[in-house]
Amino acid sequence: MKLWGGRFQKNTDKLVDDFNSSISFDSRMYRQDILGSAAHAKMLGKCGIIPAEDSELIQKTLLEILEDIEKGQVEFETDAEDIHMNIEKILISRIGDAGKKLHTGRSRNDQVALDIRMYLKEEILAIRQMLISLEETLLDLAENNLDTILPGYTHLQRAQPISFAHHMMAYFQMVRRDIERLNDCYKRTNIMPLGSGALAGTTYPLDRQMVALELGFDAITENSLDAVSDRDFAIELSSCLSIVMMHLSRFSEELILWSSHEFGFVEMDDAYSTGSSIMPQKKNPDVAELVRGKTGRVYGSLMTLLTIMKSLPLAYNKDMQEDKEAIFDAVDTVKMCLPVFTRMLAAMKLRKQNMYRAAQGGFTNATDIADYLVKKGMPFRSAHEVIGKMVMYCIQNNKAIDELSMDEFKGFSEIIEEDVYREISLEKCVSGRKIPGGPAAESVLRSIQTGRQFLNGLNR
């Protein structure tokens, strides 16, 4: 019989059992469910709501069940619907009436809210740790490449020279915001809903603070109706994870481009590439492509969650059982992507000569020559036009700007002198931009230091 079978005269249809059951996907919360129940039982005993012996027997047996599950000795039943009732049923089968007292002052509605929060709290910390590893890899890559020059792009057209360090530190900043967003999401997840009952709290004098403390929560929820109908924290997490994946997908896209023959800026290590079953010459950046592709799944989870929750009347509705597969898949996907992405990055070879050569083409120093004229007294707009003509001349004559002779330079402006060659070198274009946030080695070094301070300041 079902734990809730009292009011029913018939068994549920087999199809309904399967349809209704969530055990196939919520069983992964067995540990959270058991620890939550043990804390609840402890509090019930302490508050004199159930006898102390029963409380102790329940706690002890729950921990035995936990051990048995971890040893693989427990089989869950589809008919018992979900992880909450499966555990309770096993408990009752082991200790009878004492076990039947566990659910006093509790509903599965506040229980499931508790379990998901506990589960996601752990996952947030695990993902945060992976983001920290990615950050450390980015800092190392930056530190080793302060003087590695490559073209920076806008519109995917070569724009101005920057350093590889500067480029890596751009991603560092994105991932830093990802970490900060997760910290923030953690705060709102770290609130304890038990005691909200089905929707209207309970008449039992539960000590909610004690349960919160016992389970490592910062606070208790403020409104019973909200507590059982709130899945904001899951939506918030999947939105944080979507942004993480958006960042990884942009990075992946660049790595894919950079490892093409057309760019040739990087070469993936053999351990992070795959070959083709037909074309013997191929070495494909599959890891980066899969990360880019999996971004779609994570966005999908966010849409799923938002759509499930849309227009739901308060408080709990069974629709909300559909939250789990979506948020679990988002979490699993990100946890799969991050470590492999980080290791691929650390193992990647840089083709510095190709980067440098690319920066030499495409007139990436054109802005700097215009600035050179400005420093000699010409208004910027006029300088822009003069250099525009110079670029056109170079295109027609198949030359780079720094390949022009002094005579050719003079043809565009009398104020250009010998020092122009030094002033428009790629090295100077980069090192001159020592403005805070700029690509000069000294600026990037400063942001590497700030970055390390940020990582050290995180309580891990």
- Residue of the chain from 32, 59, 86, 109 that contacts ligand ARG (CB under 6 A): 109
Q: Select from 63-71, 137-145, 313-321, 367-375 the region that touches ligand ARG (CB under 6 A).
A: 313-321
| Longest pairwise C-alpha distance within the chain | 102
Q: Is 25 or 421 the residue whose CB approaches ligand ARG more closely?
A: 25
| Distance from C-alpha of 326 to C-alpha of 304, rounded to nearest angstrom | 7
- The pair of structure tokens assigned to 54 is 């029963």
Is residue 112 involved in binding ligand ARG (CB under 6 A)?
Answer: yes
Q: Is 86 or 148 the residue whose CB approaches ligand ARG more closely?
A: 86
Q: Is 33 or 54 the residue whose CB approaches ligand ARG more closely?
A: 33
Is residue 82 involved in binding ligand ARG (CB under 6 A)?
Answer: yes
Is residue 196 involved in binding ligand ARG (CB under 6 A)?
Answer: no
Contact between residue 134 and residue 338 where contact means Cβ atoms under 8 Å apart: yes
Q: Is 229 or 443 the residue whose CB approaches ligand ARG more closely?
A: 229
Q: In Å, how far are 35, 114, 158, 392, 454 from 119, measured between CA atoms?
A: 11, 9, 46, 61, 27
Residue 223 carries which side chain, given as an amino acid letter? N
From 24, 93, 260, 276, active-site residue: 276
Q: Is 25 or 204 the residue whose CB approaches ligand ARG more closely?
A: 25
- Residue of the chain from 71, 261, 310, 318 that contacts ligand ARG (CB under 6 A): 318
Host H or E run for residue 118: helix 108-143
Q: In Å, how far are 99, 134, 352 from 127, measured between CA atoms?
A: 36, 11, 32
Is residue 101 involved in binding ligand ARG (CB under 6 A)?
Answer: no
SS3 65: helix
Residue 214 CA, chain-centre distance (Å), reads: 29
Q: How far is the CB of 109 from ligand ARG (least distance, A)?
A: 5
SS3 163: strand
From 155, 261, 277, 311, active-site residue: 155
- Percent helix, strand, coil in the chain, to 5, is 65, 5, 30
| Distance from C-alpha of 31 to C-alpha of 215, rounded to nearest angstrom | 12
What does the DSSP 8-state code read for residue 319? G
Is residue 163 involved in binding ligand ARG (CB under 6 A)?
Answer: no
Is residue 108 involved in binding ligand ARG (CB under 6 A)?
Answer: yes
Q: Select from 107-115, 131-139, 306-314, 346-354 the region that touches ligand ARG (CB under 6 A).
A: 107-115
- Residue of the chain from 215, 320, 337, 366 that contacts ligand ARG (CB under 6 A): 320
How many other C-beta atoms are found inside a 10 Å radius of the C-beta of residue 163?
26
Q: Select from 40-48, 54-62, 245-253, 312-320 the region that touches ligand ARG (CB under 6 A).
A: 312-320
Q: How far is the CB of 354 from ligand ARG (least distance, A)?
A: 53
C-alpha triplet 151, 156, 159: angle, nearest 5°: 40
Based on the residue annotation, tell me whether 276 is a catalytic residue of this protein: yes
Tell me the pairing of strands 266-267 and 219-220: unpaired
**157 bridge partner residues:** 154
Q: How far is the CB of 112 from ligand ARG (least distance, A)?
A: 4
| Distance from C-alpha of 338 to C-alpha of 113, rounded to nearest angstrom | 27
Interface positions, 1-30, toward ligand ARG (CB under 6 A): 22, 26
Q: Is 82 or 214 the residue whose CB approaches ligand ARG more closely?
A: 82
- Residue of the chain from 321, 333, 342, 413 that contacts ligand ARG (CB under 6 A): 321
Q: Select from 235-243, 285-293, 316-324, 343-351 the region that touches ligand ARG (CB under 6 A).
A: 316-324
C-alpha triplet 239, 213, 460: angle, nearest 5°: 50
| Distance from C-alpha of 232 to C-alpha of 80, rounded to nearest angstrom | 28
Q: Select from 104-112, 139-147, 168-176, 214-222 the region that touches ligand ARG (CB under 6 A).
A: 104-112
**Which residues does the annotation mark as catalytic?**
155, 276
- Which residues are near ligand ARG by CB under 6 A? 22, 26, 82, 84, 108-109, 112, 316, 318, 320-321
